[in-house]
Amino acid sequence: MKKRILAYGRLNDEQLAQLGQDVEVQTFPGLASADDPAFRAALPHAHGLIGAGLAITPELLDAAPRLEAIATISVGYDNYPVEALTRRGILLCNTPDVLTETTADTGFLLIMAAARRALELADLVKRGDWNAGIGPEHFGSDVHGKTLGLIGFGRIGAAVARRGALGFGMRVLYSNASPKPELERELGAERREMDRLLAESDFVCVTVPLTPETEHLIGEREFALMKPSAIFVNIARGKVVNEAALIEALEMGRIRAAGLDVFEQEPLSPESPLPHMTNVVALPHIGSATHETRTAMAQRAVDNLILALKGERPIDLVNDVALRGG
């Protein structure tokens, strides 16, 4: 008998057909919550899950005793209980690499838009308020030739740095758990303690994963260390930053502007002052959201899940689980 999987992520017809060759697929398009009654009813029979954005809890795992593998359509896996999965022998697969360049593009979009005040000034045109030549009160700041500080220098951090160093002649600083000598050679990047990086950078871009160590890594103290002209960009996860401290730093002029793709609470509450601030560019978590990249991510997740359920090593395995074989 075929194994059964629950698909709550966006998969195209070819991907569903590919899965269908090996497993029985039950789809849950637009599933918003794991409490959905049909999803709960299907969990006890599920060998695999594929999707993104659903909070997977140990309690949910209790309801899925046959579960062997989860393929998340994302590189970040902060909303998965990795230890609990590992204890139960459930494989967790993510989708690194295929979204790196697109997410780095989003990072650079935010750097450029915040520096050149693109949204604020486009709005002025839209309102019909472009009455005369733009004066110093609307000038932005240069990106080229400035200092770009990356907090987190993995796949996405390096891809943002490459754009900065090779495309915009920027000096690159990084703060990362381990040193990256190859990237230092490739990009002339220099490693710094985070405090020094914050003090020296014109642009600070966060690309660390959300973990217990990185939660609220950037707060009041860190914003105080930045230059008053600094532009802060977050394309990692909202909870890496203390958002109240960020709002205060922007309001008090401790930093100049921010470009944000991620927030502590998503979707962003309508009460949040952030999207109403003229020096903030706020995007609705679109880091990897292009047709090409989302298709590639879904494909990678499909390939991972099929391999995992066959007892073979998936391309991307997050946790150290012994493979079942056969």
Active site residues: 237, 266, 285
Nearest residue to the partner ligand NAP, using Cβ? 154
Please state the closest distance from residue 137 (CB atom) to ligand NAP, in A.
Answer: 32
Please state the closest distance from residue 138 (CB atom) to ligand NAP, in A.
Answer: 29
Whole-angstrom CA distances from 305 to 3, 128, 261, 277 are 11, 52, 28, 43
| Residues counted in the chain | 326
Provide the token pair at 225.
């260390």
Instruction: Pick the closest to residue 55 from 26, 21, 84 (CA basis).
Output: 84
Nearer to ligand NAP (CB atom), residue 251 or residue 266 = 266
Nearer to ligand NAP (CB atom), residue 89 or residue 96 = 96
Nearer to ligand NAP (CB atom), residue 97 or residue 312 = 97
Nearer to ligand NAP (CB atom), residue 114 or residue 210 = 210
- Amino acid type, 282: A
Nearer to ligand NAP (CB atom), residue 216 or residue 324 = 216
Tokens 């954005």 correspond to 53
Contact assessment for residue 316 and residue 300, using Cβ atoms and an 8 Å cutoff: yes
Residues 6 or more apart whose CB falls under 8 angstroms from that of 114 comprise 231, 233, 257, 258, 259, 279, 280, 281
- Amino acid type, 233: V
Residues 6 or more apart whose CB falls under 8 angstroms from that of 14 comprise none
Point out which residues bind ligand NAP (CB under 6 A). 75-76, 96, 99-100, 103, 152-157, 176-178, 207-211, 213-214, 235-237, 261-262, 285, 287-288
Provide the token pair at 26.
């039950």
Please state the closest distance from residue 155 (CB atom) to ligand NAP, in A.
Answer: 4
Please state the closest distance from residue 157 (CB atom) to ligand NAP, in A.
Answer: 6
Please state the closest distance from residue 156 (CB atom) to ligand NAP, in A.
Answer: 3
Q: What is the CA radius of gyration of the chain?
A: 22
